[in-house]
Structure 1
Amino acid sequence: MFSRLVFVGLVFAGLALWPLVAGAYGLDLVIKIMIAAIFALSLELLVGATGLVCFGQAAFFGIGAYAAALLMARFDGAALWWLLPAAVLCAGLYALLVGALSLRTKGVYFIMVTLAFAQMAYYVVHDTPLGGGTDGIYLPGVPVAPLDLGKPLAFYGLTLASLVLVFGVLGLLLRSPFGRALAGIKANEQRMRATGFSTYPYKLAAFAVSGAIAGLAGFLFAVKDGFVNPELLAWHQSGSVLIMIILGGLGHLRGALIGAFALALLEEFFKSEAVWGGFAKHWHLGLGLTIILSAALLPKGLVGIPQLWRHRLEARRD
């Protein structure tokens, strides 16, 4: 337990000190990774903590992003103090609606229903004037008051604070009686029901919280890029965030952090023409092979490497 806290503390301390040594590109890259980490933490609450494999997480991410764009266009000079909670609330409410219906199914049916709801949201912004169609929407500016997010350091600070807050809140949540109930549902939902727990409200609450956190990530992504388009809600976004938590290690919040950083850095590595030359245009191939090898050789993800090494050392001693 202590070593885990030290690891997480060192990660956050390193992120806090990063702007002192990073250039503009390095700052932008780490902001993108931290947003991806918040997105990954939202799905970790469902998959890793509750055992609900959701394939529609991109819908909540995209709704948070579109809410930011549409509200800023409607209210000129929107302030951060109400715009961010409004975007998070929009994503959370849609998650509540999706969860209320999809949680009445199980297994592969649950996966398909969540995907169907995500595709519905995708086509609403893709095929109607509401979301600007395929052209998307440019944000008219950046939120201010109390922070001017047009300044890179201010936006970096907000993103890091959001990541630390989400990680801390989820850590406390999973150690609370509510979190222990989610762990029981993941382990054996029928036994939880037999002991008197009504599991549906717990799952629905987890689903809504997960959607709200994904909406926070979407809001930050929209403000960072100054542009939103329907691809933010596409199914491959849900697939990418699922890969992050599997790569990092399911069942661990720090696994979501590690997975987000690992996937983003692997993409940068395989896209590098300085390393791969002309083969860099086929970066998906190298990334895919790496993920396959990781899944085969590291069944518990990157977070399980220390335990794997300990087992090997013990085997050699024996």
Structure 2
Amino acid sequence: MKTRLNAGHLVAVLAVAGLLVLPLYSALSGNIFVLTLFTRIVIMALAAASLNLIMGYGGMMSFGHAAYLGIGGYAVGILAQEGIGSGFIQFPMALLASALFALVIGALSLRTRGVYFIMITLAFAQMAYYVASGLARYGGDDGLTIYKRSDFSGLVNLSNRVQFYYLCLACLLLTVFLIWRIVNSRFGMVVRGLRSNEQRMQAIGFPAKRYQLVCFIIAGTLCGLAGALLANNTDFVSPAVMYWTRSGDLMVMVILGGMGTLFGPLVGAIVYLLLEELLSQITEYWALIMGPLLLLIVLFGRGGIMGVLGRLSRG
């Protein structure tokens, strides 16, 4: 057990250390693209980490998690369109809107189990997608261009690539720390217990749906933060960010890295998005290669990358 934990810690330390020094490499090499790419990776890792909280630790297989990415992004875009450019207003509104949407989805979907839970979360996400597509004032299907990034009164300049990258990285690391505190708290142990045996936890007096709903809202709020960052990163938000395939991408990142592991979503996001970028440079039919490759990893890499590393270290 000790060796496995050390192997996991080593991978996490190397990943975080690499992310911390990445802007230095970008500056020395003059490669601006790598900083842009990893900014997106860090943001998607944050979204994947929020999904891992409910899917990996809570056993709630949400297929509509990308809806919060879009809600957080549209909160920033709509406020910017209406002349409210302060990040101190945009970001809290993005978090609040995502939390409220998660409350509604969770209150309804947690009444069901299994495939019904998956389908209800998917249905709500698709509903949000079609609502955003119908917002003609804010671009409709074409999306909404954000002409000015969130303003934090000089504390951080989001137009500066390095400052924005470190803001995204700080949000990711704080999110990972928050999830670590949650899953190791009494609340988190109850959530993990519900994943293992909900009936037994209810029999000993724990209100299952209440704990699961709070966990669901926390995950949605954190993903809304990723959506606000993503909108600032691309200077654009569109309904496509809410589509069910984006939720599938987040699930793949979590499963690839290792469900129920603290840094699994980060590792999964790095590997998945780097593979996507590499294969897309080779052929326009990169998805035909990516699909079977991911399938092989899932079939033969039980527990994801972190699980494979754990078995290798034990061997």
TM over 0.5: yes
> Share of identical aligned residues, percent?
39
The CA deviation string for residues 132-158 of structure 1, in whole angstroms up to 9 with x for no partner, is 211111113011222111111111111
Contact 2:302–2:308 at 8 Å: present in 1 too? Answer: no
Contact 1:124–1:130 at 8 Å: present in 2 too? Answer: no
Contact 1:122–1:230 at 8 Å: present in 2 too? Answer: yes
148, 151, 156: which one pairs with 2:165? 156
Residue 2 of structure 1: CA displacement? Answer: 5.0
1:60 aligns with 2:100: no
Number of residues paired by the alignment? 305
Residue 5 of structure 1: CA displacement? Answer: 3.9
| 1:128 aligned residue | 135
Residue 224 of structure 1: CA displacement? Answer: 0.5
The CA deviation string for residues 221-249 of structure 1, in whole angstroms up to 9 with x for no partner, is 10011011110110100111001111111
- TM-score, reference length from structure 2: 0.93
Residue 75 of structure 1: CA displacement? Answer: 2.8
| 1:316 aligned residue | none
Instruction: State the SS of the aligned residue for 1:111.
Output: helix
Residue 51 of structure 1: CA displacement? Answer: 0.3
The CA deviation string for residues 44-79 of structure 1, in whole angstroms up to 9 with x for no partner, is 011100000000101111100011100111134x22
The CA deviation string for residues 192-213 of structure 1, in whole angstroms up to 9 with x for no partner, is 0011000111100011011011
Measure, in 2, the Cα distance between the counterparts of 1:149 and 1:306.
36
| 1:277 aligned residue | none
| 1:44 aligned residue | 52
| 2:14 aligned residue | 10
Q: Unaligned regions of 5+ residues in structure 2, if any?
A: none
1:193 aligns with 2:196: no
Following superposition of structure 1 onto structure 2, how do residues 100-111 of structure 1 map, counting pairs within 5 Å?
A: 100-111=107-118
Contact 2:268–2:305 at 8 Å: present in 1 too? Answer: yes
Moved more, 33-42 or 131-140: 131-140
217, 225, 230: which one pairs with 1:216? 225
| 2:92 aligned residue | 85
284, 289, 297: which one pairs with 1:286? 289
| 1:276 aligned residue | none
1:300 aligns with 2:311: no
Instruction: State the SS of the aligned residue for 2:285.
Output: helix
Measure, in 2, the Cα distance between the counterparts of 1:131 and 1:101.
29
Contact 2:72–2:95 at 8 Å: present in 1 too? Answer: yes
Measure, in 1, the Cα distance between the counterparts of 2:43 and 2:32.
17
| 2:24 aligned residue | 20
Contact 1:127–1:133 at 8 Å: present in 2 too? Answer: yes
Change (3 A) 1:81 1:9: farther
Residue 6 of structure 1: CA displacement? Answer: 4.5
Instruction: State the SS of the aligned residue for 2:306.
Output: helix
Measure, in 1, the Cα distance between the counterparts of 2:222 and 2:310.
30
Residue 8 of structure 1: CA displacement? Answer: 2.4
Q: Unaligned regions of 5+ residues in structure 1, if any?
A: 274-279, 314-318
Moved more, 178-187 or 80-89: 80-89
153, 178, 183: which one pairs with 2:187? 178
Instruction: State the SS of the aligned residue for 2:62.
Output: coil
Measure, in 1, the Cα distance between the counterparts of 2:66 and 2:266.
18
Change (3 A) 1:166 1:299: same
| 1:253 aligned residue | 262
RCO comparison, higher one (Cα < 8 Å, 6+)? 2
Instruction: State the SS of the aligned residue for 2:111.
Output: coil
Change (3 A) 1:98 1:131: farther
